[in-house]
Structure 1
Amino acid sequence: MQARTIARQALKASHAPSRWPRRLVLAGLSLWASLTLAPAAAQSPSYPSRPIVMVVPQTAGGTNDIVGRLVSQKLGEVLGAASVVVDNRPGAGGNIGTQLVAKAPKDGYTLLMTISSSQAINPALYKNAGFDPVKDFRPISLIGAVPNVLLVNPSFQARTVAELLSLAKAQPGKLQYASAGNGTLNHLLGEMLNSMAGIELQHVPYKGVAPAMNDVLGGQLPMLFASLPSALANIRAGKLRALAVSGPSRSPVLPEVPTLGESVPGYSGTLWIGLFAPAGVPADVATRLQDGMARALASKDLRDKLEQQGVELASSPDKPAGPEALAALLQDDLAKWARIVKSSGASVD
């Protein structure tokens, strides 16, 4: 209060015949400026005033990259930002890009578009993932979920899940499946199938879903689990055959393809996608991002594009799935996948 009084008196003195030393007047004006302007700066009134970087911790061409590019374009329009730029930072199952955002400036200009395999599985899988999935991030918006698809090369002799299981039991340890890497969801979905169906498929990890899919397309390996958006074009072109989806129900995009649970009771595993900011981002910036995502995901053109890719949206146009839904889902999946990782014996140094 005393500081404000001095500042006001100094401001008054600057407009009247000077009775105060000039240096005191200037000091008072400086103090007044700091008192009146600081709150405005704290409220980040100009956000966003420059491009926003949306880090995708997976390779180009995968589900998260496809969704990230669709969402980033609409989010940039809604926020009035110069642009929202997708920056692919793959490696270590998503840890490299995730660590980058955890350590980024807490100003809202670096965001994390991630998937459950990186945010909810890696902390249990890696001895040191390099980030805390809860403490290092502020949830912004849950986007939706996608099933994985069990895919085979069209030349593969099994045309149904039942035929695959029969073949695998007749040749234990002989059939191989590709994945986007150790500890990724499509790796653990294979381990879950081994455990629940009593078979022994051999896992072959790749550095991303694109090279894994390329080898299955080329016939070097017979099968892989891949998220629906990353596989849909090849399924529709007849280059890959979909045996089953991993979710609890059939996908509206591929209604003729059964679920794995129809052949292996109780089997279910989906991938969710969400947007996070670094923990400590200003509250008003987080609110602006949350509102922006709600508006973006309410737009019909973005919803149509995401649904055409097989994304099952978590929100409706009038009921956004905001940060609370994402935080709750993350907590549930951290516990769920910790149990699955432990039972599978999977581990990455």
Structure 2
Amino acid sequence: MIHRRTLLTTAAAAAAATALAPLNAMAQATDAWPSRPIRLVVPFPPGGSADFLGRLVAEKITLATGWVMVVENRAGAAGNIGLDAVAKAAPDGYTIGIGQTANMAINPALYAKMPFDPLKDLAPVALVASQPMVVTVKADAPYRTLAELLAAIKKSAEPMRVAFAGNGTVAHLTIELLERHAGISLVNVPYKGSGPAVNDLRAGHVDFFVGNSISVLGQVNAGSLRALAVTSPARLKALPAVPTVAESGFADFDAQTWSGVVTPAGVPQPILARLYTEVTRVLARPEVLAKFAAEGSTAATGRSTQQFVELVRAEHRSWGELVRQAKIQID
């Protein structure tokens, strides 16, 4: 009997050790993280706002921690290609990405087929920054306020032309929102980028342009464009004299593009917590806040991971509803 009990006890201990082995291995891997370079996927081309934010975060984290962070631009399909690579990566904390309004909130309704589910396949970690859209006209246009522009649109015998960069973008959907709030109808003129759109605005081929703050700030400050309104709830620090759309008569109007750090679903919680800590430390640095402000961005200081999760879900619902109502789709 004693021999049998000893065997049973030994077998149970062996089974428990076998069951705990994967957990112990995961704990050891988590404790050692990061032991090799971390890949930060920016799902847009170099030079854009997501690239600027991603590279700034990677640079400051590397300087503060000694980690090796490698930025990889994987552009295409409005951010879907790069973020799909993140969603399908091993959930070990060595592949992270920049999630944005377009690829996490708009694209699921915009594209007939999505390669990933942003609500299930990705884990939001830390919101980084946001940028409003800016309604702009050329410097010698007769409109000095949004109200004057809207009045001219309503009086015009022919629909006025509005330029923006890319179908299904936040700028495009902001125009849809403005049409609905103001009771106007416009001719939408999409471009492949902000540069060509602004060039056509200055040449008089379109009547006004809606683009994110980063894309227009330089020309507004240089005096070649005039900003009439920003679409965030509060005025932009970089354009303090420019009122919000809400101040211009449309209460609660809010249309912004945001960016944040995301990982594949299933990354261990201690790694997520460490990532969050390091990103939020970056956002607290005065020089980072100054750079964001100079570029027309607002740093997301003081926002928790849960608040980022809730933002993604809320924006997924609201932008998706607008895309479906406007019947916008990309095959």
Alignment TM-score, normalising by the size of structure 2: 0.85
Quote how far apart the aligned CAs of 1:261 are: 2.2
Q: CA deviation at 1:277?
A: 0.8
2:217 aligns with 232
Q: Distance in 1 between matches of 2:89 and 2:201?
A: 37
What SS does structure 2 have at the residue aligned with 1:247?
coil
Checking the alignment, whether the CA contact within 8 Å between 1:246 and 1:260 is kept in structure 2 is yes
- Report % sequence identity: 38
Deviation at 1:4? 11
In the superposition, relative to structure 1, how do residues 35 and 233 fare at CA in structure 2: closer, same or farther (>3 Å)?
A: closer
In structure 1, C-alpha distance between the alignment counterparts of 2:201 and 2:194, rounded to whole Å: 11
**Contact persistence 2:40–2:69 (CA under 8 A):** no
Q: Residue deviations 1:66-125, cap 9 Å, x none?
A: 22222221122233122342x333332222222222122323232221322321121122
Rounded to whole Å, the distance in 1 between the matches of 2:69 and 2:160 is 46
Match for residue 324 of structure 2? Answer: 342
Structure 1: gaps (5+ residues): 7-30
For 2:89 and 2:26, how far apart are their aligned partners in 1? 24
Structure 2 Cα separation of the partners of residues 250 and 157 of structure 1: 23
CA-to-aligned-CA distance 1:39-90 (integer Å, 9 cap, x gap)? 564325040422x3322223333322222222221122233122342x3333
CA distance 1:345–1:239, change in 2 (3 Å): same
Counterparts of 1:248-259 in structure 2 under 5 Å? 248-259=233-244
CA offsets 1:242-262 (integer angstroms, 9 cap, x no match): 111111222222121112223
Residues 119 and 173 of structure 1: CA distance in aligned 2, closer, same or farther (over 3 Å): farther
Q: Is 1:121 paired with 2:106?
A: yes
Q: Report the CA distance shift for 1:89/1:66 in structure 2 as closer, same or farther (over 3 A).
A: same
Q: 1:324 aligns with which of 291, 306, 311?
A: 306
Q: 2:47 aligns with which of 61, 76, 86?
A: 61
Residues 236-315 of structure 1 aligned to structure 2 (within 5 Å) = 236-266=221-251, 267-315=253-301
| Cross-structure match for 2:188 | 203
3-state DSSP of counterpart to 1:243? strand
> In the TM superposition, what is the alpha-carbon distance from 1:221 to its structure 2 partner?
3.2
Q: Which residue of 2 aligns with 1:45?
A: 32
Q: Is the 8 A contact 2:33 2:271 kept in 1?
A: no
Give the Cα–Cα distance (whole angstroms) in 2 for the partners of residues 219 and 100 of structure 1. Answer: 41
The question of whether the paired residues in 2 share the 8 Å contact of 1:242 and 1:257 is answered with yes
Aligned to 1:183: 168
Question: CA separation in 2, counterparts of 1:147 and 1:299?
Answer: 22
SS of 2:238 mapped into structure 1: coil
Which is worse superposed, 153-162 or 34-43? 34-43
Q: Distance in 1 between matches of 2:143 and 2:191?
A: 23
Cα distance in 1, alignment partners of residues 69 and 200 from structure 2: 35
2:135 equivalent to 1:150? yes
CA–CA distance in structure 1, aligned partners of residues 51 and 59 of structure 2: 12
Q: Distance in 2 between matches of 1:213 and 1:65?
A: 21
Shift of 1:186: 0.3
**Aligned pairs, how many?**
317
Which residue type is aligned with residue 30 of structure 2?
Answer: Q
Confirm whether residue 79 of structure 1 aligns to residue 65 of structure 2: yes
CA distance in 2, matches of 1:226, 1:139: 25
Unaligned runs of 5+ in 2: 1-8
Residue matched to 1:223: 208
| C-alpha distance in structure 2 between counterparts of 1:229 and 1:199, whole Å | 27
CA distance in 2, matches of 1:330, 1:176: 31
- 1:43 aligned counterpart, secondary structure: helix
Question: Matched residues in 2 for 1:269 and 1:36: separation?
Answer: 44
